[in-house]
Amino acid sequence: MSAVIEQTQVGKRESFADLIAVAESEKTPYTSMLDKRKRPDQMDHSWQMKGYRKAGHGGVIDNVDVTTVNNTPRKRVHCYSQKIWDPVGVSDLAEEATVAGVKSELSAQVSDAFVTAAQIIERRCLSAYDTLEQNAPANGYETRGLFSWLANTAQTTFPVPEDFRPAAAQVYSSTLTLFTEDALITMANAAAKRRKGPTTLKGFVGLDLKKKINDFTRYQPTVGSFTSVRTFQQQADSKAVVNIVDKLVLDSGTIELHPSFFLYTNKADGEDTLYTHRSGAFVDMDMAGLAYTRLPRVFKLPYQGGGQKACVDAIFLHQVDNPMGGFSATITTD
């Protein structure tokens, strides 16, 4: 009789590592950075915008009484909140099976659903979709995405008052090739002129647009081509070449850049669009917030014999207090 050989051994258990690798990033930078605002009491939520008046600076004549008065007007703006959910379920047999890296299949699915819900909120807030009133069965209430807030034309539902919309010079819509340093500075300057001063903006940009901005340090545009102008020193022991731009310090203010993989996506399925990796939105985070009527939660659905089901849901509002100081690049082609 020969010895038992591992290759032909019968009854071996399959070897599985006690982990599950997830390739997709869970990071949601925009909504993570947004100020968390007071809970809205209704689906239709409103606030006020105002801008200081321009006034002359001539002298007042002595012994002249006040005969006319002025006031600082305020404008009202609305936005709807939005309910989202991600229901999950497992069959009776699946819940009882032993799975590597999983103690409870339902618990694992619920945990993943919280991540999915966070990404749904991130995608909506970084979308170009307008706010919508519920119109069953066509659509539920929907909140306004950042690219819609930063539009320089009137929105269909609850349009931002014209005085508080970004100017045409604050919206870029040409190609990625033509998005030069001068184009970015032009938009930043136009926004600063509306704000009447410099500030710090956060730029949430697709990876292709981020790469284009990185090239601002490398190339000088000429009429027919791009000529390299960059030289750099590398420490021998570092073995690294760093070619990124995460912060731009301009006369109009500071721009801090954050790559995003969730902007300008398709509403129906959350898939990337031609804009997703080429576009970017630049906003004063002191002028934006996220307000939850209901924080993300989980609730179990009734057991009907086939298996356990649960749902993660949330009700939230994406609020931009005054969009005229931001700007955006909506780019669909290289």
Domain residue spans in the chain? 27-47+74-329
Query: Could you give phi then psi for residue 18, rounded to 5 degrees?
Result: -85, 55
pLDDT of residue 11: 63
Task: Work out the average pLDDT over 227-233.
Answer: 59
Tokens of 237: 């022991």
* Spatial separation of the C-alpha atoms in residues 319 and 81, rounded to whole Å: 9
Contact status, residue 148 vs residue 128, Cβ threshold 8 Å: yes
Chain centroid offset of residue 193 CA:
24
| pLDDT at site 312 | 94
Average pLDDT over residues 87-114: 89
User: Where is average pLDDT lowest: 99-113, 132-146, 177-191?
Assistant: 99-113
C-alpha span between 19 and 306 (Å, rounded): 27
140, 179, 271, 284 from 274: Cα distances, Å: 26, 16, 10, 25
pLDDT higher than 80, residue 188 = yes
- Quote the pLDDT of residue 16: 55
Sign of the CA dihedral running 61, 65, 69, 72: positive
- Confidence grade of residue 96 (pLDDT, cut at 50, 70, 90): confident
CA distance 262 to 272: 8
Give the HSE-up count for residue 91: Cα atoms under 13 Å, Cβ half-sphere: 3
Instruction: Give dist(CA 164, CA 175) in Å, integer.
Output: 27
Provide the token pair at 51: 């801008």
Mean of the pLDDT values across residues 136-155?
96
- Separation CA 74–CA 326 (nearest Å): 20
Size of the chain, expressed as the number of residues it contains? 334
Average pLDDT score over the chain? 88
Q: Which DSSP symbol is given to 273?
A: -
* pTM score, whole prediction: 0.87
Which 8-state DSSP code applies to residue 188? Answer: H
**CA-based radius of gyration for the chain:** 26
Please tell me which residue, 76 or 125, carries the higher pLDDT value: 125
pLDDT at residue 206, rounded to an integer: 97
Contact 327, 170 (CB under 8 A): yes
Least confident of 24-33, 153-162, 285-294, 296-305: 24-33
Query: Could you tell me which of 294, 253, 260 has the C-alpha nearest to residue 278?
Result: 260
* pLDDT higher than threshold 60 for residue 15: no
User: Which tokens go with 289?
Assistant: 């917030």
Query: With contact defined as beta carbons under 8 Å apart, do 234 and 199 qualify?
Result: no
Q: Tell me the pairing of strands 199-205 and 253-259.
A: parallel
Q: Cα dist. 322→30, 127, 247, 254, 327 in Å? A: 17, 18, 23, 19, 12
Percentages helix, strand, coil for the chain, rounded to the nearest 5?
25, 30, 50
327 CB neighbour count, 10 Å cutoff? 30
User: According to the model, what pLDDT value does residue 192 have?
Assistant: 95
Least confident of 78-82, 216-220, 270-274: 216-220
3-state secondary structure of 22: coil
Q: Answer positive or negative: Cα dihedral of 97, 102, 107, 108.
A: negative
Peptide bond before residue 137 is cis, with ω within 30 degrees of 0: yes
- Look at residue 12 and tell me whether its pLDDT is greater than 90: no
> Exposure string (b/e) for 18-54, b if CB count within 10 Å is 16 or more?
eeeeeeeeeebbbbeebeebeebeebebeeebebeee
Q: What is the mean pLDDT of residues 203-219?
A: 89
Pairing relationship of beta strands 44-50 and 74-80 according to DSSP bridges: antiparallel
Determine the average pLDDT of the residues in 187-212: 94
